[in-house]
Amino acid sequence: MRVLVTGAAGYVGYAVGRRLVAAGHAVDGLVRDAGQDLPPGVRPLVGDLLDPPALRAVLTEPYDAVCHLAALTRVRESFEEPLRFFAVNVQGTVNLLDLLAPGTRVVYGSTAAVYGTPEWQPIHEDQTPAPTSPYGASKLAAEQVVRWHARTGAIGAVVLRTFNVAGAVDGRGDPDPTRLIPRALAAAAGEVPHLEINGAGDAVREYVHVDDLADAHVRALAAARPGEDRVYNVGSGAPVSVRDVVAAVEKVTGRRVPTVRRPPRPEPPLLISDATAVRHDLGWRPRRSELSRMIADAWAARTRAAG
């Protein structure tokens, strides 16, 4: 298929483009600035989802499929700039959908943040979303835009709600220094004096390797059908506490991670996915999502970049 990847130079977008090329698709990568690093075989297109006339001038030929990954993603920033998050994540999605040819397959990269603090664990797709941040609310609104548009018959849509992403491909790790694993690795490398931990470090989350997530996107594209919309959780389902991450980073790197405890923050003690549906329907399996493997890949990418 001829596939467009939005946010193609991002952490997940790069991995998805790489997987699509390997699967034999012709891939264009939409980026906001020229010269950004893209996987071999991905053709760059420069455009802004918030500038429809310029976007229309760039997207001159129809696509068979789109992986929509361009978004603002930092939860804390969303509280400071909610209007910006809704503009980029929701209006940008509307602008993109408005330009797609009938029958286009769309995979929308969403987030577990749409669930907020769910009533039971593990989290199933049937649970009622209740986001607790502007970021989560904006992603849920964009999901609804995609799904309602699919129900007109204009497109086929698959929404992938991703839990925490880690690991690296082609020497590219997670560039977001606010996330736990990059912060822990920075502390192990001596780039920051310590890792701050809220409370006792008992909060439990899960992680999926960025390459496993990319594989889910490729499978979702194949499954999308015009007039249909599906939603899948994408996660390993393996519980990992903050303390587990620190211990794994120390073991993989052979270095100590200095930590400083801060007062506990109001946050869910446990967020774990039920990814049964994506395994059953798409045949997806998290093959690289063991914690030490993800940390080793991320550490190797960091070491490579530093050297």
- What residues of the chain score a pLDDT lower than 70? 307
pLDDT at 119: 84
**How many other CB atoms are there within 10 angstroms of residue 26's CB atom?**
14
Instruction: Indicate if 14 belongs to the active site.
Output: no
48, 68, 89, 166, 209 from 86: Cα distances, Å = 15, 15, 5, 25, 27
Residue 197 Rama label (left phi>0; alpha psi -120 to 50; beta)? beta
**How many other CB atoms are there within 10 angstroms of residue 44's CB atom?**
16
- In the block, which residue shows the tokens 């090329």? 21
Nearest to 99 by CA among 129, 39, 54, 44: 54
pLDDT at 307: 67
**pLDDT tens across 172-202, in order?**
999 999 999 999 999 999 999 999 999 989 9
Largest CA-CA distance found in the chain, in angstroms, rounded:
55
| 100 DSSP 8-state letter | P
Please pick, among 11, 63, 135, 207, the residue that the annotation labels catalytic.
135
61, 119, 120, 169, 241 from 238: Cα distances, Å = 42, 19, 16, 21, 10
Domains of the chain: 2-165+207-234 (3.40.50.720), 168-205+238-271+288-306 (3.90.25.10)
- Residues 161, 143: Cα–Cα separation, whole Å: 10
Q: Return all residues near 60 (Cβ < 8 A) that are at least 6 apart.
A: none
**pLDDT tens across 2-18, in order?**
999 999 999 999 999 99
- Residues 252, 32: Cα–Cα separation, whole Å: 36
Q: Is 268 exposed, middle or buried (0-12, 13-18, 19+ CB in 10 A)?
A: middle
Pair of tokens at residue 199: 């409370």
**How many other CB atoms are there within 10 angstroms of residue 136's CB atom?**
22
